[in-house]
């Protein structure tokens, strides 16, 4: 299968951006809706029946040989971070569509139905709602999110209405797990391991735990020229010290990492002492214990900084996921498909430090993941992100091999 067309589709989809200057596509914006329509069109062209669920996920179904066949879900996301890369998430959707197109051309119907799921909001960039769409699919929509506001003050509820979705019906996105055979996700590695080892594809063994918080520091505004330094309650100075505290604690080594990716001064003006600052905290680790210890230490230090500087600190956990191992038999199935496609000995197995929709689907079914090599030093969430047409073609052939070898008898109740 030719990867050139898949790369061309990814580049075509990147035209749908919230920004004219870079690739950014956030949940339910006009660009996001345009991308959803294009994905739906490609799904129909591939021979699938297409629906958009109550939170905006685009789902294409290719029926199995039996009308009541369980579905093998193949998915990833089509939203992005700000100024991100064109293949993050999108590649996995396009590969799934390409595999179904090949089955349809041959008239092949399998023991399972195939459902390609284009998740609408994995990054959570607009409303700080990471994994919203896969959570809605698995455990139901959280109505408490409807009052979340984006940077322009638009609530999630209003954004849903503007996109033609009914917030009151968002719970209808939830699926029946008894009708799902398993879930597989193909994703760019977002790291340099495969690139450094000269491997095109890899098998994901586990997905790291992660927690995100959105913090608000409230101090006291004042004139920059008249308030003595010792009498200030500067929200930005406090936040700056807190950012460094996150970096310091999360530099302990191992798999622990910490990032502050958002830092905003409310009504910031050059000659006014900042009175309110909002910043994000993202902490990740391969195991729950390391993550919990780091979070405890970080927030104890942030509270101490706030008390010493006379500012108020408030926080809201926006994202919390446990470490998730990929199901062993699914790992083996993905590995065997890679080995038959690529050759060269056993497939490389490696963990994922980034979060994926697969970790949410694991609450409902068995999951497997395949990584595709990143070029440009393995960089991701960056305009430099790249995938070669050759690697995309190999990933497509390996995914199709895995789909064809899948049987619904391989389930979590099989004892594995």
Helix, coil or strand: residue 390: helix
pLDDT of residue 409: 64
- Structural domains in the chain, CATH included, are 3-207+323-414 (3.40.630.10), 209-321 (3.30.70.360)
Which of 214, 250, 227, 225 has the alpha carbon at shortest distance from 310? 227
pLDDT tens-digit series, residues 306-326 = 999 999 999 987 667 677 899
pLDDT of residue 319: 67
For the record, the structure tokens of 105 come out as 């051309």
Per-residue pLDDT band for 416 (boundaries 50, 70, 90) equals very low
- CB count, 10 Å around CB of 84? 23
| Helix (H), strand (E) counts: the chain | 11, 16
Q: How far apart are CA 330 and CA 409, in angstroms?
A: 12
Q: How far apart are CA 364 and CA 383, in angstroms?
A: 34
DSSP 94-163: HHHHHHHHHHHHHT---SSEEEEEEES-SS-TTTS-TTHHHHHHHT---GGGTT-B-TTS-BHHHHHHHT
Strand partners, 369: 185
pLDDT of residue 414: 44
Q: How far apart are CA 49 and CA 43, in angstroms?
A: 8
pLDDT of residue 204: 96
What are the strands, taking DSSP E only, across 286-403? Answer: 312-321, 324-325, 348-352, 367-372
Is 104 in contact with 46 (CB distance < 8 Å)?
yes
Strand partners, 124: none
Q: How far apart are CA 352 and CA 286, in angstroms?
A: 9
Per-residue pLDDT band for 415 (boundaries 50, 70, 90) equals very low
pLDDT tens-digit series, residues 208-256 = 878 889 999 999 999 999 999 999 999 999 999 999 999 999 999 888 9
CA angle 324, 325, 329 (to 5 degrees): 140
Least confident span in 76-90, 158-172, 273-287, 398-412: 398-412
Q: What ranges in 179-326 are assigned the alpha helix state H?
A: 193-197, 235-249, 288-309
For the record, the structure tokens of 216 come out as 């608000």
């Amino acid at each position: 299968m030719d990867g050139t067309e898949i790369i061309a589709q990814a580049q075509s989809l990147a035209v749908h951006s919230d920004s004219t200057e870079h690739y950014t596509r956030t949940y339910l914006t006009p660009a996001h809706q345009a991308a959803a329509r294009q994905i739906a069109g490609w799904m129909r062209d591939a021979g699938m029946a297409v629906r958009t669920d109550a939170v905006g996920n685009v789902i294409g179904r290719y029926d199995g040989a039996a009308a009541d066949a369980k579905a093998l879900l193949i998915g990833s996301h089509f939203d992005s971070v700000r100024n991100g890369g064109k293949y993050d998430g999108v590649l996995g959707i396009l590969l799934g569509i390409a595999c179904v197109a090949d089955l349809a051309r041959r008239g092949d119907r399998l023991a399972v139905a195939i459902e390609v799921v284009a998740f609408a909001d994995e990054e959570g960039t607009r409303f700080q709602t990471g994994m919203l769409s896969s959570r809605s699919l698995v455990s139901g929509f959280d109505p408490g999110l409807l009052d979340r506001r984006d940077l322009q003050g638009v609530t999630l509820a209003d954004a849903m209405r503007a996109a033609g979705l009914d917030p009151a019906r968002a719970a209808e996105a939830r699926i029946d797990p008894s009708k799902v055979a398993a879930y597989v996700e193909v994703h760019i590695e977002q790291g340099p391991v495969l690139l450094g080892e000269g491997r095109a594809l890899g098998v994901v063994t586990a997905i790291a735990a992660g927690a995100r918080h959105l913090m608000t520091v409230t101090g006291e505004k004042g004139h920059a020229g008249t308030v003595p330094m010792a009498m200030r309650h500067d929200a930005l100075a406090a936040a700056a010290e807190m950012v460094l505290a996150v970096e310091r604690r999360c530099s302990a080594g191992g798999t622990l990492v910490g990032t502050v990716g958002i830092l905003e001064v409310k009504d910031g003006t050059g000659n006014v002492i900042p009175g309110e600052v909002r910043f994000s905290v993202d902490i990740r680790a391969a195991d729950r214990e390391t993550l919990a210890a780091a979070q405890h230490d970080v927030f104890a230090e942030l509270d101490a900084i706030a008390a010493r500087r006379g500012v108020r600190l408030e926080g809201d956990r926006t994202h919390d996921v446990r470490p998730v191992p990929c199901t062993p038999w699914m790992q083996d199935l993905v590995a065997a498909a890679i080995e038959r496609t690529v050759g060269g000995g056993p497939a490389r197995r490696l963990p994922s430090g980034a979060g994926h929709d697969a970790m949410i689907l694991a609450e409902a079914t068995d999951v497997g993941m395949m990584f595709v090599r990143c070029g440009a030093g393995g960089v991701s969430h960056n305009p430099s992100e790249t995938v070669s047409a050759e690697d995309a073609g190999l990933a497509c052939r390996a995914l199709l091999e895995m789909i064809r070898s899948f049987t619904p008898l391989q389930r979590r109740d099989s004892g594995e």
